[in-house]
Chains A and B, each alone.
Chain A
Amino acid sequence: MTMLKSENREEVVLPLSQLKKGSLAEVLRFDMTDRSTLRKLLSLGIVPGTKIRVVHTFPSYVIEFDSSQIVFDKTIASSIRVRLLDNASLEGAST
Chain B
Amino acid sequence: MSGQHRLVYDERIEDAVNRISALLSDSYFLSKRAVSLLLLQEDEDITQLVEATDRSSYEEISSIVEETKQAFDRPLSYVIGLTMHEDALNITERSVTRNRKMRRSFASVLSDLTMHPISGIIILLLVLYFGLYKFVGEFGAGTIVDFLEENIFEGYINPFLTRVFEVLIPWRWLQELFVHEYGVLTLGMRYAIAIILPIVGTFFLVFSIIEDSGYLPRLAMLVDRIFKKIGLNGRAVIPMTLGFGCGTMATIVTRTLESKREKVISTLLLALAIPCSAQLGVILAMLSVSFRALVIWMVFVALSFLLVGFLAARLYPGKKPSFYMEVPPLRIPKISNVLSKTLARMKWYLVEVIPIFLGASVIIWIGNLTGAFNLLVRALHPVMSFVGLPSESAQAFIFGFFRRDYGAAGLYDLQRAGILDIRQILVASTILTLFVPCVAQFAVMIKERGLKTALWIASFVFVFAFAAGAVLNVVLQVTGIL
Question: Which residue of B78, B217, B234, B326 is within 8 Å of A38 (Cβ)?
Answer: B78
Query: Would you call B81 and A70 a contact (CB within 8 A)?
Result: no
Query: Scoring B residues 20 to 64 as 1 if CB is less than 8 Å from chain A, else 0, what string do you get?
Result: 000000000000000000000010000000000000000000000
Question: Which residue of A33, A35, A37, A70 is within 8 Å of B326 (Cβ)?
Answer: A70
Interfacial residues, chain B to chain A (CB-CB below 8 A):
42, 74-75, 77-78, 81-82, 85-86, 102, 104, 109, 111-112, 115-117, 217, 220-225, 228, 233-234, 320, 322-327, 329
A12 to B371, CA, bound (A): 79
A-B contacts besides A35-B78, A42-B81, A59-B225, 8 pairs, CB < 8 Å: A39-B75, A42-B77, A47-B86, A72-B325, A73-B224, A75-B320, A75-B322, A94-B109
Query: Scoring A residues 51 to 93 as 1 if CB is less than 8 Å from chain B, else 0, what string do you get?
Result: 0000110111010000111111101100000000000000001
Query: Would you call B322 and A73 a contact (CB within 8 A)?
Result: yes
Given A71-B220, A71-B323, A73-B228, answer yes or no on A38-B116 (Cβ-Cβ < 8 Å). Answer: no
Least Cβ–Cβ distance between B323 and chain A, in angstroms? 4
A52 to B233, CA, bound (A): 24
Asked if A1 CB lies within 8 Å of chain B CBs, one says no
Question: Which residue of A33, A44, A55, A72 is within 8 Å of B323 (Cβ)?
Answer: A72
Asked if A6 CB lies within 8 Å of chain B CBs, one says no
A56 to B222, CA, bound (A): 11
Instruction: List residues of chain A with CB within 8 A of the CB of B320.
Output: 75
A38 to B81, CA, bound (A): 9
Given A58-B117, A67-B102, answer yes or no on A38-B324 (Cβ-Cβ < 8 Å). Answer: no
Closest to B85 in A: A47
Closest to B233 in A: A73
With an 8 Å Cβ cutoff, the count of chain A residues facing the other chain is 32
Instruction: List residues of chain A with CB within 8 A of the CB of B323.
Output: 60, 71-73, 76
A55 to B218, CA, bound (A): 13
Instruction: List residues of chain A with CB within 8 A of the CB of B81.
Output: 38-39, 42-43
Query: Scoring A residues 9 to 50 as 1 if CB is less than 8 Å from chain B, else 0, what string do you get?
Result: 000000000000000000000100101011111111101100
User: Is chain A's binding surface mostly helix, strand, loop or mixed?
Assistant: mixed
Closest to B120 in A: A59
Residue of A37, A41, A60 contacting most chain B CB atoms (<10 Å):
A60
Instruction: List residues of chain A with CB within 8 A of the CB of B223.
Output: 59
Given A58-B117, A71-B220, A72-B322, answer yes or no on A38-B85 (Cβ-Cβ < 8 Å). Answer: no
A68 to B217, CA, bound (A): 13
A62 to B329, CA, bound (A): 13
Residue pairs across A and B with Cβ atoms less than 8 A apart, 19 shown, are: A33-B75, A35-B42, A35-B78, A37-B322, A38-B81, A39-B81, A41-B324, A56-B221, A59-B224, A60-B222, A60-B224, A60-B323, A67-B102, A70-B324, A71-B220, A71-B327, A73-B225, A75-B320, A94-B109
Least Cβ–Cβ distance between B394 and chain A, in angstroms? 44
Query: Would you call A70 and B104 a contact (CB within 8 A)?
Result: no
Asked if A95 CB lies within 8 Å of chain B CBs, one says yes
A93 to B74, CA, bound (A): 39
Given A58-B117, A59-B117, answer yes or no on A71-B325 (Cβ-Cβ < 8 Å). Answer: yes
Question: Which residue of A47, A59, A76 is within 8 Å of B82 (Cβ)?
Answer: A47
Query: Would you call B78 and A39 a contact (CB within 8 A)?
Result: yes
Least Cβ–Cβ distance between A53 and chain B, in angstroms? 10
Given A35-B77, A75-B322, answer yes or no on A70-B82 (Cβ-Cβ < 8 Å). Answer: no
Query: Would you call A71 and B322 a contact (CB within 8 A)?
Result: no
Query: Would you call B322 and A55 a contact (CB within 8 A)?
Result: no
Across the A-B interface, give the 6 residue pairs with the lowest CB-CB distance, nearest first: A42-B81, A69-B327, A72-B324, A73-B323, A71-B221, A35-B75
A60 to B120, CA, bound (A): 12
Query: Would you call B222 and A59 a contact (CB within 8 A)?
Result: yes
A39 to B41, CA, bound (A): 10
Instruction: List residues of chain A with CB within 8 A of the CB of B217.
Output: 71
Question: Which residue of A33, A35, A47, A71 is within 8 Å of B324 (Cβ)?
Answer: A71
Least Cβ–Cβ distance between A14 and chain B, in angstroms? 20
A71 to B77, CA, bound (A): 22
Instruction: List residues of chain A with CB within 8 A of the CB of B117.
Output: 58-59
A12 to B117, CA, bound (A): 29
Instruction: List residues of chain B with CB within 8 A of the CB of A67.
Output: 102
Closest to A29 in B: B74
Query: Would you call B324 and A76 a contact (CB within 8 A)?
Result: yes
Given A35-B75, A71-B217, A71-B220, answer yes or no on A40-B324 (Cβ-Cβ < 8 Å). Answer: yes
